[in-house]
Structure 1
Amino acid sequence: MTDAAPLSGVVPPVCTPLTPDREVDTASLTRLVDHLLDGGVNGLFVLGSSSEAAFLPDRHRRTVLDTVLGHVAGRVPVLAGVIDMTAPRVVDHVRAAVRAGADGIVATAPFYTRTHPSEIAVHFRTIAAHADVPLYAYDLPVSVHSKLTADLLLDLAAEGVLGGLKDSSGDEAGLREVILGRRDRDLPAFSVLTGSELTVDSALWMGADGVVPGLGNVDPHGYVRLYQAAARGDWETARAEQERLFRLFRLVHVGGPHMGRGSSALGAFKAALFLRGVIDHPTTALPQIPLDDDDISQVRKYLSEAALI
């Protein structure tokens, strides 16, 4: 890992617009990037969960990398997800991301295989050894079925293996333990980013450096306002903005009982971007069930209530 300033601010996990025949819609993708940059975001994260990375074949991943990195052209840092089951597979993605010019890479613990914490440490060390950009650990136990402990993360940070954390564990006490441990162990370069759209004000108050919000695709300006209010110590304004975004986030449930939670959320993000005129199609990757017309009408209602259309 190379030395770099700690990442902070609003770093949305960029959705991957698709055409009706499920190719990457590069024209919509560049408009989405412009929408996020116009919102004042501090960085971008491609090929994460909100990017539908788990559904994208490798050629689509490469298209996303080349399109976004070429369009951003160094204006903000771009992190690239290199998520796969085990270290040898992840390393292939690392090579592609570094070759494309990514400023950092993001990896989960191994999954499908059953691994011990000591093997998870080897996993991250192996990935870092094949990259000359910062490596961010993505704590996502709901998907990978392993929780990254504070001790593991901080030990790897002290070794120079990890440059930061995207915490999507939903464990607020665990997040606080990492933040306190970073201070106690004098690791100021280790970035701590929350992945929860709903408790950003609380995470920033605890000392987190920023947020990676899927809903930030839909309303980047709102998350930037929240972050800036917190940065200047205006916690009342930060709370009010968080509460507005909390209400807007209810759009992820429009799919109700007729599809999976992930399908509903990703479909809602894309429907919102379509309704806002940012992307051309709200298509989601197979085998996700698409939103129907009634679902999209509900998304429109939430956008209207949030004064976004």
Structure 2
Amino acid sequence: MTEKPENSQYRGIIPPMITPLKNEDELDLQGLHKLIDHVIDGGVHGLFILGTTGESTSLSYALRHGLIKETCKHVNGRVPVLVGVTDTATAESIRLAETARDAGASALVAAPPYYFSLGQPELIEYYNYLADRLPLPLFLYNMPSHTKINIEPDTVKELSKHDNIIGLKDSSGNTAYFNKVLFHMKETPEFSLFVGPEEIMAETVLLGGAGGVNGGANMFPKLYVDLYNAAINGDIEQVKKLHALVMEISAGIYSLGRFGSSYLKGLKGALNLLGICNDYMASPLHKFEKEEKDQLESNLREIQKKIH
């Protein structure tokens, strides 16, 4: 196996950016630019577009390609841009990857194709086939709640041998799983292991994880960067203090109403209340109605008092 270059290692806070929309088939460009500037000014270490938080599977291909071009153009090399290319059709993933390369993105992210229930040998075959054809380095994306498939630790280790596969984003929320992956990959420190759920980001960084792909960093990027830095520095008292704020965000922003999409409704609604972008959501999802929006505004105001 050829050793991966040192610059293939990513670390820190890489927000999974929401996709600001005006309607079902039009980007909110002003909101997109404001959001990009907001998170970069907050000190994040990169951006990840077209993930779950970006509603990628609900967007037309034209919108996805447009978002890649517009994001990379506005970022203009300030931070690395990671682009989600998850799709049930490998040809579409490759087309997105080619647009990402041409636009100046740094890396790609792909969850397993989510229609057929692939076994682990098939998953290895799929990712090797995909990685062979991609023009940029690839992060595996473990999202079993949405894809029905868990990328097992042994599978991660096997796939890490591919020169073009450089890391994993785990959004399972399963710390036992993440610790097993850390153990399996302890001899491969250049392979970057990120966690999605912000509620467990600090503890995974303390245990050796590379950082967090945390939705809340869309709203309060500096908070998540500060929490990451406290964990890296082993400042447990600061970790406890900042982690408590992250948990308040989880409870007050992501858990309103009885919706399967409360996290995303709350996040987009909060960004709208912060004056950053539109809160339109692509079908089949829809933004909060007045009752939840009023509660969200109240909760957000209380959280802001504690953060600032």
TM-score normalised by L of structure 1: 0.93
Q: Is the 8 A contact 1:104 1:135 kept in 2?
A: yes
Superposition deviation, residue 189 in structure 1: 1.1
CA-atom RMSD, angstroms?
1.7
- Tell me the alpha carbon deviations over residues 31-78 of structure 1, each in whole angstroms, 9 at most, x when there is no partner: 000000011000000000000101100111011111110011111110
Does residue 132 of structure 2 align to residue 133 of structure 1? no
Residue of structure 1 in register with 2:291 after alignment? 294
List aligned pairs for 1:1-309, cutoff 5 A.
Answer: 3=5, 4-20=7-23, 22-183=25-186, 186-250=187-251, 251-254=253-256, 256-257=257-258, 260-262=259-261, 264-279=262-277, 281-307=278-304
Q: Give the whole-Å Cα distance in 2 for the aligned partners of 1:245 and 1:219.
A: 10
Q: Is the 8 A contact 2:269 2:293 kept in 1?
A: yes
User: Unpaired runs of 5+ in structure 2?
Assistant: none
Superposition deviation, residue 87 in structure 1: 2.8
Q: Give the whole-Å Cα distance in 1 for the aligned partners of 2:47 and 2:244.
A: 24
Q: Which amino acid aligns with 2:236?
A: W
Q: Give the whole-Å Cα distance in 2 for the aligned partners of 1:21 and 1:7.
A: 33
Q: Is the 8 A contact 1:268 1:299 kept in 2?
A: yes
Q: Give the whole-Å Cα distance in 2 for the aligned partners of 1:163 and 1:44.
A: 16
Q: Is the 8 A contact 1:69 1:100 kept in 2?
A: yes
Q: Which amino acid aligns with 2:95?
A: D
Residue 87 of structure 2 aligns to a residue whose secondary structure is: coil
Percentage identity across aligned positions? Answer: 31
Q: Which amino acid aligns with 1:210?
A: G
Q: Which amino acid aligns with 1:290?
A: K
Q: Is the 8 A contact 2:219 2:270 kept in 1?
A: yes
Call closer, same or farther: CA 1:114–1:89 in 2, change over 3 Å.
Answer: farther
Q: Give the whole-Å Cα distance in 1 for the aligned partners of 2:92 and 2:114.
A: 12
Q: Is the 8 A contact 1:267 1:283 kept in 2?
A: no
Q: Is the 8 A contact 2:25 2:63 kept in 1?
A: no
- Tell me the alpha carbon deviations over residues 229-286 of structure 1, each in whole angstroms, 9 at most, x when there is no partner: 11211022112111111111121122x23xx322x2212111111111111x211111
Q: Give the whole-Å Cα distance in 2 for the aligned partners of 1:157 and 1:108.
A: 15
Superposition deviation, residue 86 in structure 1: 4.1
Superposition deviation, residue 146 in structure 1: 0.5
Q: Give the whole-Å Cα distance in 2 for the aligned partners of 1:5 and 1:121.
A: 21
Displaced runs of 4 or more, over 6 A: none
